[in-house]
Amino acid sequence: MRPIISSFALAAAVVLAAVACAPDDKPTSPLTAGASVKQGGVPDLSALPDLTVDSKSTQNNWIVRVEDLPANFCSVEEGNITPGEHTLLRFTVTTPNIGKGDVFIGSPLDHYNAGDGLFEFATCHKHFHFTHYATYRLIDKNGKTWKSAKRGFCMLDTDPFNTNSGDGRWTYRNCGTLTADGFQGISAGWADTYVFKLGGQYFLLDGGDGQPPVPPGVYTIRVEVNPAYVPDNGGPCLRFVDPNGMCRQFKETNYANNVGEATVIITDHPGRSGYGTIKDKTKITAADEIEK
């Protein structure tokens, strides 16, 4: 098992995630020096991947606090959130690939041009997002559910998960744009981490997004990666049908471990300093809002 994320690792993940999708700073091709064939940028499709959710990552990295959400934040624009001060619950999600093969779908630009629905172009972020990658739900004791502000995902190798596997170099680090092809995926032995500061990594608690306000209490954050879903407009599945007859975006060796949960406490007046397992008072800026 991977150790609990330290403050150093969390900070590194924040920087890494921002750099990975920043148009001027992100690498345009994988590292190659001293790397194996797989690590040199060629997807390992010799076996299927196995995505899972690292529940400890979320359990150890959440906070309820009051923040100012400006109109120029992508999550505000895409989530139809009223700009201004809001009480929200921020949280980190890590989705490791513990399988023997990579998660790799192909060129985002090619899929987008083909109109097959696997990738969408996020105009605010100016890069491609993979559709149906994961769902975030906040659930109360009676089963009532709220949706998060997150609207899209860019699959990248952000941190090694199985450090003993020999997978010492990353393969996927490029979201892709309308003019430059991307390279999205998750290598075997690596994880894709969406740190709490990134755009959309929160539930709005005061009703400013059109959902009912979330009362104080004990809740469950439920994350499902490569989630089962019903086809849009009653049509056929775009990719694959799992053993239960539900649609999935890609095949895996095991769908039973695609869900992770964490317990959180929503207080009545958390204030700007916040309440939760993260002790972070840094103001979120537009740079943090890059929605990887």
DSSP for 26-75, written as a single string: S-SS---TT--TTTTT----SS---B---HHHHHTSEEEEEEEE-TT-HH
Quote the CA–CA distance of 96 and 163 in Å, as a whole number. 12
First vs last Cα of the chain: how many Å apart?
Answer: 25
Count structural domains, the chain: 1
- Per-residue pLDDT of 94-140, as tens digits, reads 999 999 999 998 889 999 999 888 899 988 888 999 988 999 999 99
Quote the CA–CA distance of 156 and 191 in Å, as a whole number. 8
158: in domain: yes
Kindly state the average pLDDT of the residues 26-41: 35
Structure confidence at residue 234 as a pLDDT band (50, 70, 90): low
At residue 235, the pLDDT reads 66
Residue 49, pLDDT above cutoff 70: yes
- Judged by average pLDDT, the poorest of 15-24, 99-108, 196-205, 207-216 is 15-24
At residue 22, the pLDDT reads 35
At residue 275, the pLDDT reads 93
Tokens at 170, concatenated = 């990353």
Kindly state the average pLDDT of the residues 198-223: 95
Percent of the chain with pLDDT over 70: 81
3-state SS class at 111: helix
At residue 80, the pLDDT reads 86
At residue 233, the pLDDT reads 66
Quote the CA–CA distance of 137 and 284 in Å, as a whole number. 22
- Judged by average pLDDT, the poorest of 57-61, 255-259, 277-281 is 277-281
288: in domain: no
2: in domain: no
Residue 34, pLDDT above cutoff 90: no
At residue 52, the pLDDT reads 97
104: in domain: yes
Antiparallel, parallel or unpaired: β 275-276 and 62-69 = antiparallel
Q: Which of the pair, 214 or 229, is modelled with greater confidence?
A: 214
248: in domain: yes
Q: Which of the pair, 182 or 52, is modelled with greater confidence?
A: 52
Residue 5, pLDDT above cutoff 60: no
- Judged by average pLDDT, the poorest of 17-26, 47-56, 79-88, 275-284 is 17-26
85: in domain: yes
For all residues of the chain together, what is the average pLDDT? 82
Handedness of CA 129, 134, 140, 142 (dihedral sign): positive
Kindly state the average pLDDT of the residues 174-200: 91
Kindly state the average pLDDT of the residues 32-61: 75
Residue 30, pLDDT above cutoff 60: no
Q: What is the DSSP string of 139-177?
A: E-TT--EEE-S---B-----EES-TTSS--S----B---
Domain range for residue 171? 7-28+48-276
286: in domain: no
At residue 53, the pLDDT reads 98
Q: Which amino acid is at 257?
A: N
155: in domain: yes
Residue 251, pLDDT above cutoff 50: yes
At residue 165, the pLDDT reads 54
Best-predicted range by mean pLDDT (3-7, 14-18, 178-182): 178-182
At residue 181, the pLDDT reads 84
Q: Could you tell me if 164 and 197 are in contact, meaning their C-beta atoms sit under 8 angstroms apart?
A: no
